A and B are shown apart, each in its own frame.
Chain A
Amino acid sequence: MFVTAILIGLTLLTIYMSKAHSYLSDKPETCINCHIMAPQYATWGHSSHREWTNCNDCHVPHNNIFNTYYFKAMDGLRHATVFTLRREPQVIFIKKQGSKAVHQNCIRCHSALLIDPKLSSWTEDHDGHRTGRKCWECHREVPHGRVNSLSSVPDARVPHPSNPVPEWLRNYLKN
């Protein structure tokens, strides 16, 4: 009985501390639960994409709802593991699965633009490039800019998760 209670208690603490419940939402703030994602948040927050997209709009596939949540769960678990084990690299690069999802999402929103015949006439071999390459091989600044190491934006003000110890407890401990 006690053992089970301890286990449940510890699990609840882990859920609370890791803000596990927030992962069900699409809020970009959720992605900086891990503070190492601050540069990605800050650069997105200074880009035009912030007006229309959140992280999941681009980084999670949207072809069907099961795939969306499957991808989100797998990716989330991998991230959580890496972060907890302190295995994050200094510079984060997108993985193959992730880049496939992003590319499909570029197309999902910008399809009208992509099939616009005017674009083909303006931009040399846009047809060839858009099928053979990834969008950001040319549109390199979209949307995170080019400087993206963990320490690239030390002064950016991003809404990091606040201190998990409640205010009343902190005050009580202080006195």
Chain B
Amino acid sequence: MSSNLKITEKRPWLAWVLFFATIVVVFLLGLLASSIVERRMEATFVNVPKAKIEEFEPRNEVWGQNYPRQFQSYYGTADTTFRSKYGGSATVDMLEEIPEMVVLWAGYAFSRDYKQGRGHYYAITDVNNSLRTGGPLKPDEGLQPSTCWTCKSPDVPRMMKQEGVAAFYTGAWARLGSEIVNPIGCADCHDETTMNLRISRPALVEAFERRGRDITKASYQEMRSLVCAQCHVEYYFNKKVVEGANYLTFPWDNGFTAEAMEEYYDDIEFSDWTHAVSKAPMLKAQHPDYEVYMTGIHARRGVACADCHMPYISEGGQKFTDHKMQSPLNNIANSCQVCHREEATRLVQDVYERQDKVIESRHDLEKQLVRAHVEAKKAWELGATEEQMKSILMGIRHAQWRWDYVAASHGGSFHSPVESARTVANGISIIQDTRILLARLLAHLGHNEPVPYPDISTKAKAQEFIGLDMKSLREEKQEFKKTVLPKWTEEAEKREAAWSVSLTN
């Protein structure tokens, strides 16, 4: 210090130079430090989601604020213009296409109304408009249980958390009408903080547990199918788990094939309904998409549902998962052709060829089943005993279960053509044996000639044949849509308006 002072005493201007130079250096260094601070802070804000997504947030629009690309592509499921040979996103009245189905489901709500499903966007609209849910005017009315909502909405995990799982499965469908309003979306498959795939439905977790597997140990690639398997599976309502509850259960304990599930159902003597024509104790297959898929070659090679139904796309230099779940036939370039270097037309031909061949035998089985039902009816009319009918009715149950396993599985005839064809073939074999028994019984009862095939050339004729009063069913639905539905919407809007969305910065 002292030597410095001596120098500056001799040359006072040097002190000023040092003074100003220091100001400049500190100023510049400060600027540098501030720039570094600023850029460092940027990292804590860069790509941070805008809205804070609360646990069980059911509104897809709120998630959409943070993930606009995924959200906008999800909205693509509102598109109903694509129609392939047997599938697509357009509404197709399946009962009109195949009136035999009306007879096969006589006595069950499916004979009233069965349309090919549209995209996820319409999950709520379509279930409200289906004649299968009827026209309940009060919360405890109607023929369907509250369990029917389970696959329709991200409001479901929210309500399950609020009420408890068994309580959610208890009561009538109309009970939850005002609570479940957002169509299948983000919260059904994603964790709200990490966006990791997440299983939100207990039935899948429980089915895995019964098979001795811990679903939390599933790999990422498995999860890209398992989130779909929360809903696209065969299920039934088990009334024996909790008193009064229609507990959603997957019949997977013995395996995924039609035979394995049939064994499961036979062991617990379960039937979905008693057939109105033949009085057989029937099983209804509910879209065993995942199960059939798992028996196919694509599953064997480790391809997940999302690989074809939600392929990666690039938009403005950004790669992300296309959340427009749809038929890959509407997006061959990003799905099939990622692995198969063939012409698109050739690939479509390959798909249709497999579907055509399976459906050819399936239609044959359909007609045989209708014949068996009307022949069984004739046998009852001629005074057959329950003892005489027992094995015949079981034959009808088993054959139709196989038919439904294939018919109800979306895309099953492509997902696993060999398994689908095998299952239909077994169905044909069973129904033939059953019809031989029926022919013997009818002859024994004094009727030794063919039972005429009913005129079921249209949906209306088939519904008339099984004695459905479609006019009153439609009126009942209209009344429901006029009086109840607007109230549900109003209540839901009021509730959601009270939920604020906080911003993260």
A97 within 8 A of B: no
A83–B43 CB distance below 8 A:
no
B22: nearest chain-A partner, CB-CB:
A3
Q: In the bound complex, do residue A10 and residue B33 qualify as a contact, i.e. CB atoms below 8 Å apart?
A: yes
A152 and B41 within 8 A (CB)? no
Contact of A160 with B29 at beta-carbon distance under 8 Å, contacts A17-B36, A149-B317, A153-B319 already known? no
Q: Which residues of B contact A56 (CB under 8 A)?
A: none
Q: Contacts A18-B40, A163-B41, A164-B40 hold; do A7 and B47 have CB atoms under 8 A apart?
A: no
Q: A59–B165 Cα gap in the complex (Å)?
A: 54
Contact residue among A32, A145, A164 (Cβ-Cβ distance under 8 Å from B37): A164
Q: How many residues belonging to B are interface residues under a CB distance threshold of 8 Å?
A: 27
Tell yes or no: B267 within 8 A of A by CB.
no
The answer to whether B26 touches A7 (Cβ under 8 A) is yes
Residues of B within 8 A of A156 (CB): 47
Q: How far is the CA of A157 from the CA of B49 in the complex (A)?
A: 11
Contact check: which of A83, A154, A157, A161 meets B318 at CB < 8 Å? A154
A5 to B36, CA, bound (A): 20
Complex interface: chain B residues within 8 A of A63 (CB) = none
Are A152 and B46 in touch, CB under 8 angstroms?
no
Interchain CA distance A33-B1 in the complex, whole Å: 40
Q: When A and B form their complex, what is the total count of cross-chain residue pairs whose Cβ atoms lie within 8 Å? A: 73
For residue B316, which residue of chain A has the nearest CB? A151
A1 within 8 A of B: yes
Q: Are A84 and B39 within 8 A (Cβ)?
A: yes
Q: B41 to A164, Cβ gap below 8 A?
A: yes
Interface SS majority for chain A: loop
Contacts known (A7-B29, A10-B26, A35-B46); A17 close to B40, Cβ less than 8 A:
yes
Residues of chain A within 8 A (CB-CB) of B25 are: 7
Say if the beta carbon of B42 comes within 8 Å of chain A: yes
The answer to whether A17 and B37 touch across the interface, beta carbons within 8 angstroms, is: yes
Give the interface SS of chain B, mostly helix, strand, loop or mixed.
Answer: helix
A154 close to B47 (CB less than 8 A): yes
Interface contact A10-B29, CB-CB below 8 Å: yes
Asked if A155 is at the interface of the complex by the 8 Å CB criterion, the answer is yes
CB distance from B291 to the nearest CB of A (A): 31
Report yes or no: A84 in contact with B318, Cβ–Cβ below 8 A: no
A154→B316 CA distance, assembly (Å): 12
Report chain A residues within 8 Å CB of B30.
10
B339 on the interface (CB 8 Å rule)?
no
Bound CA span A3–B19, Å: 10
Identify which of B37, B43, B319 gathers the most chain A CB atoms within 10 Å of its CB.
B43
With the chains together, A5 CA to B414 CA distance in Å? 76
Identify which of B22, B42, B46, B314 contacts A147 (C-beta below 8 A).
Answer: B314
Output the least CB separation between B359 and chain A (Å).
40
Which one, B22, B35, B44, B318, contacts A162 given CB within 8 A? B44
> Can you offer 11 A-B residue contacts whose CB atoms are under 8 A?
A10-B33, A14-B36, A84-B32, A84-B39, A147-B319, A152-B318, A153-B319, A155-B195, A155-B320, A161-B40, A164-B37
Q: Which 5 pairs show the lowest CB-CB distances between chains A and B?
A: A35-B43, A160-B43, A14-B33, A17-B36, A163-B44
